[in-house]
């Protein structure tokens, strides 16, 4: 037998010892991984028994050379050898070849050695009192650790039993001979055993697992699952008493949630909804589920130039605009089931009061200074132009976008000082404004900068990545003073002399809206916003990332400057942007799906909520797509969740009369419960960090686990089996029903309507379905003997055709959609067009008569041609409309039309031989004739059906008469020839009657 080996390979030592012990002779031959000796994996040593048989695994070779003779061993020896190969050997070779040993690696090796030591403490050898292949393998692998003094001191010190065992074996003659033949050195370096390198130390890498089943639950997890399944419900926190006015409570977690105040002058689109209000709502519902004392407020941001612009556009006062759009916002959010504790607005007296008070305090503290600013004055409109009233070319080099707004460029996103705009123009009149100085008040952000930076570095770990990113970008440059006031009318007036005709800038005033809205909601806003130290109040703010600078820098700077212990944001969950079918949602251009549109589609709000939450742009921008909306509804809500809930509850209702069967979980069941617990832990962790999209994924995984469980248990089979099987079937159904209750709990923040329906079907109330965030575990939500309600399907399928239609309907901008409608209206007025054409025709004739200059009359001719084209379109529309009416209504009209048209054609043909002149008329005539024919045939079928109905009566009468006749004839004679003809007639009549009756 031959052993191929590289130099100083401890695994080769295994083979030599085994051979010597068995008294077999082996020959060593040096080899490397590049040599052509391998018939499979390139591992050394390689034992070649003959040209048919070789072993590349040293452990298999050891067993071959030194077989286990005792068969009662039950594979123990092999088990230890496998352990040696996948645990001990990798750890030892990692330690002896590493330059520096990590603590983890040392711990891994220690654990392995401790195990061996423990085995040797009870017995002489690894597996008892007999020397086995396991001893040979482990001895050889540990050889360097024991015989290299440095390594021995470092690693083997505490393992006395191992030391004794190694030395005892080393005294054996076979081993001494083997060492001699091996001719290696305990000082290293040692050879690797495979061309693939040393195997990974498994305990240091997480096991590779399938996506569904992350390595099965550990024994500890299963024990925990069991304990919690039985006693988890006792660990639920005491429920929170519902108060009419929510104020902080001592000893509870108090959560104040705000979502960015939507600007009032437009209808919110889906991007706005998921970015702010929906995210905040999901989170608020989650908080209530955990019995956190939660106040969730929002409102419309109403002051500022945009409102004034809109008011001018619509010819209303700013107040009227606000009232109008406030209602729209309110209705949209109500439809989306956004459960605000209070939805207010910023144009209230409370707002004025609080904003003025805060401003004065800020001024007292010395952070407000006046400064003269050059502003754009439109002489034509006689007023200073607010940023939004002016447009021009973006001054930032590299951008130069030609319709940048006065405050921010839509293309590069950079903030702009309106007077820096290249080629500014007044948005109202288009006139070029002039620069005039005006005195404004500025907040000295530069003075507040150090405190802002300190505060941000202490708290920004709790913010979403988008929020941190935007904030960091802002802080790259030093902060500059920023104007607090401006020359406008619609806003909170500045409460100091000389400035009374000015109002606060909206960036200053809008975040104060949170305070004033809280005041409107609770009448004691300071309890929330200036909380007592003994109260645990945390502020959570939701927004899209464009709002981040105001919430992380300007507003906190204001509060820090005021220095009255106001609450600063603790958790800021900003989102990236949501795109619309790969384009951008845009309020100003009207691209995308708007809150009101979502309502018109007839798709339930829960489906929208679910879909929007599942594409929430948490880490990067994401896209809304109609097709995906359908897929998510059909595959996730309908097939995964809906299917599981409905199946589970239906089984319970049908097989157990609605009484939820008691669960006597087996080990497999506890394994499932442990897996569910893992998902729940992730759900809570993600939720608490504002990662709503990830949290939702974990809930859906629970539903998937439920489906898999149902599928693998097959309760429908079990319930027909033996008593044991029936018991298992009942447990399966019971467990599934409990899972439904759990899902109902966890999904309530996302799809509240569905959760309410499901609670009805489960026959439970919301207080039964709560969650302990400290101990998020699956326990028996439904008490023993609980009776459920009537199960019903929760979701309906969304058809792809319908979605295609919706996609087409909401393509383009809102204006384009409106124009498309107008166009169809216009085209209908054929008469108007005809009039326009004759007028234009006259004009063209005159022009042509007066001049030969083509450039003069050509534009008019083009106009004429365009009008004619519209007319033909309109006529063809009219055509398709009219025949449909006439054909059914009056054949007479058509006959008349045919006659008239015929006359016309005849005259035309008589007057000219130019076919191009009369052909169109002929075509019209033919068309009319065709229509007439159809109309007539329609009428005829109508008539014939009428006729036939009236005929039934006659036929019945005839049948009766004929029947009589036949009977009489038959009575009078037996001669068939006499009555047969009459019978035939009777049968015919009967057949006719039957036919008619079928038709009708």
Partner 1 sequence: MCACNIDVIKLVGKYLNISVGPICYNSDKVITTVLDKQNVEGFATIVLRLAAKNGTSMSHEQMLLCYQWLEHIAMYSNQAVTNPIFAKSFLQDINKALEKNTYLTGQHLSIADVAAYYVLYCLIERLSIVEREAVLHVCRWLKHIQAQPKVCASKAPLPLNALSLSVLAPTVH
Binding site for partner 1 (CB under 8 A): 38-43, 53, 55-57, 59-60, 63-64, 67, 74-75, 78-79, 81-83, 85-87, 90, 111, 194-196, 199-200, 202-203, 205, 207-211, 213, 215-220, 222, 667-668, 671
Cβ atoms of 704 and 212 within 8 Å: the answer is: yes
In whole angstroms, how close is the CB of 479 to partner 1 at the nearest point? Answer: 46
In whole angstroms, how close is the CB of 710 to partner 1 at the nearest point? Answer: 18
**Closer residue to partner 1 (CB): 50 or 242:** 50
| Cis peptide, bond prior to residue 189, ω within 30 of zero | yes
DSSP, collapsed to helix, strand or coil, labels residue 616 as coil
**Closer residue to partner 1 (CB): 59 or 337:** 59
Sign of the CA dihedral running 693, 695, 698, 699: negative
**Closer residue to partner 1 (CB): 43 or 257:** 43
DSSP, collapsed to helix, strand or coil, labels residue 337 as coil
Tokens representing residue 576 in the block: 């990236």
Q: Does an H or E element contain 583, and which? A: strand 583-584
Question: Which residues are 55's β-sheet partners?
Answer: 47
| Cis peptide, bond prior to residue 68, ω within 30 of zero | no
Cβ atoms of 350 and 516 within 8 Å: the answer is: yes
Cβ atoms of 389 and 490 within 8 Å: the answer is: no
254 CB contacts (<8 Å, ≥6 apart)? 248, 292, 293, 294, 295, 528, 531, 535, 536, 537, 538
**Closer residue to partner 1 (CB): 202 or 349:** 202
**Closer residue to partner 1 (CB): 128 or 199:** 199
- Give the integer Cα–Cα distance in Å for 990 and 959: 6
In whole angstroms, how close is the CB of 208 to partner 1 at the nearest point? Answer: 4
**Closer residue to partner 1 (CB): 216 or 783:** 216
**Closer residue to partner 1 (CB): 222 or 267:** 222
**Closer residue to partner 1 (CB): 219 or 831:** 219
In whole angstroms, how close is the CB of 100 to partner 1 at the nearest point? Answer: 22
Q: In what order do the strands lie in the sheet with 2-5?
A: 27-30, 2-5, 46-48, 54-55
Cβ atoms of 437 and 474 within 8 Å: the answer is: no
Tokens representing residue 898 in the block: 């045919």
**Closer residue to partner 1 (CB): 55 or 490:** 55
Query: CA gyration radius for the chain?
Result: 43
In whole angstroms, how close is the CB of 214 to partner 1 at the nearest point? Answer: 10
- Give the integer Cα–Cα distance in Å for 662 and 229: 13
In whole angstroms, how close is the CB of 112 to partner 1 at the nearest point? Answer: 8
Long-range contacts for 497-504 (Cβ within 8 Å, ≥24 apart)? 498/439, 499/441, 502/440, 503/303, 504/303, 504/355, 504/359
In whole angstroms, how close is the CB of 39 to partner 1 at the nearest point? Answer: 6
In whole angstroms, how close is the CB of 2 to partner 1 at the nearest point? Answer: 17
Question: Which residues are 575's β-sheet partners?
Answer: 544
**Closer residue to partner 1 (CB): 63 or 352:** 63
Query: Given phi > 0 = left and psi -120 to 50 = alpha, else beta, which region is 593?
Result: beta
In whole angstroms, how close is the CB of 75 to partner 1 at the nearest point? Answer: 6
- Would you call 257 exposed, middle or buried from its count of C-beta atoms within 10 A (0-12, 13-18, 19+)? buried
Tokens representing residue 543 in the block: 């927004």
- Would you call 16 exposed, middle or buried from its count of C-beta atoms within 10 A (0-12, 13-18, 19+)? buried
Q: How far is CA 558 from the centre of its chain?
A: 35
- Give the integer Cα–Cα distance in Å for 748 and 740: 12
In whole angstroms, how close is the CB of 59 to partner 1 at the nearest point? Answer: 6
In whole angstroms, how close is the CB of 20 to partner 1 at the nearest point? Answer: 19
Rounded to 10 degrees, the C-alpha dihedral 477/483/488/493 comes to 130
Cβ atoms of 28 and 5 within 8 Å: the answer is: yes
Q: Does an H or E element contain 3, and which? A: strand 2-5
**Closer residue to partner 1 (CB): 212 or 439:** 212
Cβ atoms of 479 and 556 within 8 Å: the answer is: no
Tokens representing residue 550 in the block: 């105001």
**Closer residue to partner 1 (CB): 197 or 366:** 197
In whole angstroms, how close is the CB of 68 to partner 1 at the nearest point? Answer: 9
Tokens representing residue 350 in the block: 């409370």
Among candidate residues 239, 519, 505, 234, the one with its CA nearest the CA of residue 387: 505
- Give the integer Cα–Cα distance in Å for 842 and 885: 35
Question: Which residues are 43's β-sheet partners?
Answer: 194
The DSSP letter of residue 239 is P
Rounded to 10 degrees, the C-alpha dihedral 616/618/621/624 comes to -10
**Closer residue to partner 1 (CB): 44 or 521:** 44
**Closer residue to partner 1 (CB): 226 or 689:** 226
**Closer residue to partner 1 (CB): 42 or 383:** 42
In whole angstroms, how close is the CB of 678 to partner 1 at the nearest point? Answer: 13
In whole angstroms, how close is the CB of 359 to partner 1 at the nearest point? Answer: 59
In whole angstroms, how close is the CB of 668 to partner 1 at the nearest point? Answer: 8
**Closer residue to partner 1 (CB): 87 or 310:** 87
In whole angstroms, how close is the CB of 37 to partner 1 at the nearest point? Answer: 11
**Closer residue to partner 1 (CB): 218 or 838:** 218
SS3 of 382-436: the string is CEECCHHHEEEECCCCCCCCCCEECCECCCCCCECCHHHCEEEEECCCCCCCEEE
**Closer residue to partner 1 (CB): 89 or 228:** 89
Cβ atoms of 562 and 358 within 8 Å: the answer is: yes
């Amino acid at each position: 037998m031959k052993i191929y080996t590289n130099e100083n390979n401890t695994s080769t030592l295994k083979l030599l010892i085994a051979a010597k012990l068995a008294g077999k002779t082996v020959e060593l031959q040096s080899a490397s991984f590049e040599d052509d000796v391998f018939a499979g994996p390139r591992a050394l040593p390689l034992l070649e028994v003959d040209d048919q048989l070789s072993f590349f695994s040293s452990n298999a070779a050891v067993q071959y050379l030194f077989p286990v003779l005792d068969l009662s061993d039950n594979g123990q020896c092999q088990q230890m050898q496998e352990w040696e190969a996948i645990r001990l050997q990798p750890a030892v070779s990692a330690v002896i070849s590493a330059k520096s040993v990590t603590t983890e690696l040392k711990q891994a090796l220690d654990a392995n050695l401790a195990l061996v030591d423990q085995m040797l403490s009870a017995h002489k050898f690894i597996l008892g009192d007999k020397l086995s292949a396991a001893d040979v393998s482990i001895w050889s692998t540990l050889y360097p650790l024991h015989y290299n003094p440095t390594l021995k001191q470092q690693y083997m010190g505490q393992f006395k039993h191992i030391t004794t065992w190694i030395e005892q074996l080393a005294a054996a003659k076979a081993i001494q001979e083997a060492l001699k033949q091996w001719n290696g050195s305990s000082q290293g370096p040692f050879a690797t055993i495979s061309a693939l390198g040393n195997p990974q130390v498994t305990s240091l890498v997480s096991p590779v697992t399938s996506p569904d089943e992350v390595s099965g639950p550990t024994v500890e997890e299963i024990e925990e699952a069991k304990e919690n399944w039985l006693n988890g419900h006792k660990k639920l926190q005491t429920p929170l008493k519902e108060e009419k006015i929510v104020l902080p409570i001592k000893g509870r977690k108090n959560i104040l949630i705000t979502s960015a105040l939507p600007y009032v002058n437009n209808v919110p689109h889906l991007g706005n909804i998921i970015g702010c209000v929906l995210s905040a709502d999901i989170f608020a519902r989650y908080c209530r589920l955990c019995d956190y004392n939660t106040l969730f407020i929002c409102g419309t941001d109403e002051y500022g130039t945009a409102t004034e612009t809109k008011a001018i556009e619509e010819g209303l006062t700013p107040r009227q605009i606000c009232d109008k759009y406030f209602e729209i916002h309110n209705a949209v959010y109500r439809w989306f089931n956004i459960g605000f504790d209070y939805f207010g607005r910023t144009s209230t007296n409370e707002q004025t009061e609080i904003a003025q008070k805060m401003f004065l305090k800020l001024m007292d503290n010395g952070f407000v200074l006046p400064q003269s600013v050059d502003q754009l004055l439109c002489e034509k409109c006689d007023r200073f132009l607010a940023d939004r009233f002016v447009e021009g070319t973006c001054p930032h080099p590299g951008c130069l976008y030609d319709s940048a707004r006065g405050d921010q460029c839509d293309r590069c996103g950079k903030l702009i000082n309106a007077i820096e705009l290249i080629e500014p123009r007044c948005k109202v009149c288009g006139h070029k404004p002039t620069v005039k100085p005006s005195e404004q008040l500025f907040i000295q952000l530069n003075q507040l900068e150090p405190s802002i930076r300190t505060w941000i570095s202490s708290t920004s770990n709790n913010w979403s990545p988008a929020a941190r990113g935007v904030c960091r970008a802002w802080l790259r440059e030093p902060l500059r003073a920023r104007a607090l006031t401006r020359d406008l009318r619609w806003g909170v007036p500045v409460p100091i002399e000389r400035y009374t005709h000015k109002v606060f800038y909206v960036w200053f005033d809008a975040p104060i809206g949170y305070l004033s809205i809280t005041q409107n909601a609770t009448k004691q806003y300071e309890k929330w916003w200036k909380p007592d130290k003994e109260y645990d109040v945390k502020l959570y703010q939701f927004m899209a990332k464009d709002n981040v600078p105001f919430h992380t820098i300007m507003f906190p700077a204001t509060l820090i400057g005021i220095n009255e212990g106001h609450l600063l944001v603790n958790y800021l969950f900003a989102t990236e942007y949501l795109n619309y079918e790969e384009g951008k949602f845009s309020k100003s251009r009207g691209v995308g799906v708007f809150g009101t549109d979502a309502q018109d589609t007839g798709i339930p709000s829960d489906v929208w909520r679910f879909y929007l939450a599942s594409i929430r742009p948490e880490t990067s921008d994401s896209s809304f797509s109609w097709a995906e909306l359908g897929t998510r509804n059909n595959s996730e809500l309908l097939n995964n969740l809906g299917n599981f809930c409905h199946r589970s509850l239906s089984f319970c209702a049908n097989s157990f009369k609605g009484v939820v069967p008691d669960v006597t979980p087996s080990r497999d069941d506890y394994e499932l419960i442990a897996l569910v617990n893992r998902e729940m832990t992730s759900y809570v962790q993600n939720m608490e960090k504002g990662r709503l999209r990830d949290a939702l994924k974990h809930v859906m995984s629970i539903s998937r686990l439920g489906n898999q469980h149902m599928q693998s248990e097959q309760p429908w089979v079990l319930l027909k089996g033996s008593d044991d099987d029936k018991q298992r079937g009942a447990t399966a159904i019971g467990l599934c029903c409990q899972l439904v209750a759990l899902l109902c709990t966890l999904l309530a923040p996302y799809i509240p309507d569905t959760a309410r329906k499901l609670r009805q079907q489960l026959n439970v109330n919301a207080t039964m379905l709560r969650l302990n965030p400290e101990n998020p575990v699956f326990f028996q939500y439904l008490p023993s003997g609980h009776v459920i309600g009537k199960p019903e399907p929760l979701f309906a399928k969304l058809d792809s055709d319908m979605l295609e239609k919706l996609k087409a309907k909401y393509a383009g901008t809102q204006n384009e959609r409106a124009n498309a409608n107008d166009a169809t209206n216009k085209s209908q007025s054929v008469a108007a067009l005809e009039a326009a054409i004759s007028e234009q025709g006259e004009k063209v004739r005159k022009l042509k008569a007066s001049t030969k200059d083509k450039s003069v009359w050509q534009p008019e001719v083009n106009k004429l041609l365009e009008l004619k084209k519209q007319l033909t379109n309109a006529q063809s529309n009219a055509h398709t409309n009219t025949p449909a009416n006439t054909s059914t209504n009056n054949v007479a009209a058509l006959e008349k039309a045919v006659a008239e048209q015929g006359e016309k054609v005849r005259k035309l043909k008589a007057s000219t031989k130019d076919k191009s002149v009369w052909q169109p008329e002929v075509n019209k005539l033919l068309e009319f004739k065709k229509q007439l024919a159809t109309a007539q045939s329609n009428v005829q079928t109508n008539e014939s059906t009428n006729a036939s109905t009236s005929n039934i009566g006659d036929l019945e009468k005839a049948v009766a008469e004929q029947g009589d006749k036949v009977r009489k004839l038959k009575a009078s004679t037996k001669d068939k020839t006499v009555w047969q003809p009459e019978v035939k007639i009777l049968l015919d009549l009967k057949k006719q009657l039957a036919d008619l009756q079928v038709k009708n």
